[in-house]
Structure 1
Amino acid sequence: MSGERVTQDMIEAELDAASIQFHQFPNTTVTVAAVKLRNGFALVGHSACVSPDLFDAQVGKELALRNARDQLWSLLGFRLRDAL
């Protein structure tokens, strides 16, 4: 088995080249991150806060993007496995 792997740099390069839009649904604590990758493939990350009193829109964006980033790890892992 080779030493090839998906790296944080690979993930960040994909996200740097991506178009990212956020939406926070009014009167909710739900935030989504729509990530269009350079090849046109789309990921949708999401977050939600249990308590409206504790909701922070910036944290919601960060968590939604983290959720999309986690999906990207799987996709790049799949791509790498096909290439090996």
Structure 2
Amino acid sequence: MMPWYTFTPILPSCDPQDPTNYTLLGDLPPQSSESKLFFAAIQADDNCGLPHIDMMLRMEIINALELEIDTINVRLDDRNKCAN
């Protein structure tokens, strides 16, 4: 089972494809909200405490954000963690 990572960007970087914008969460996915507008978390292979974001996961992130839906490895939320 791959661990989950919560999206915790260090402003001004808000790139969901940058592994340094994540914090290891654990084995359970975060709670999902009704609104699916913003990026929240991913499930990925571990790379020394950071997620390994390969091309397939990059495409899954892009699709989830475009369609505003959760996927197997991507969770969206109603809070924009990139807003000041």
**TMscore range, shorter length:** under 0.3
TM-score (norm 2): 0.26
TM-score (norm 1): 0.26
Greater RCO, 1 or 2 (C-alpha within 8 Å, sep 6+): 2
Q: Please tell me whether Structure 1 or Structure 2 has the larger radius of gyration of its CA atoms.
A: 1
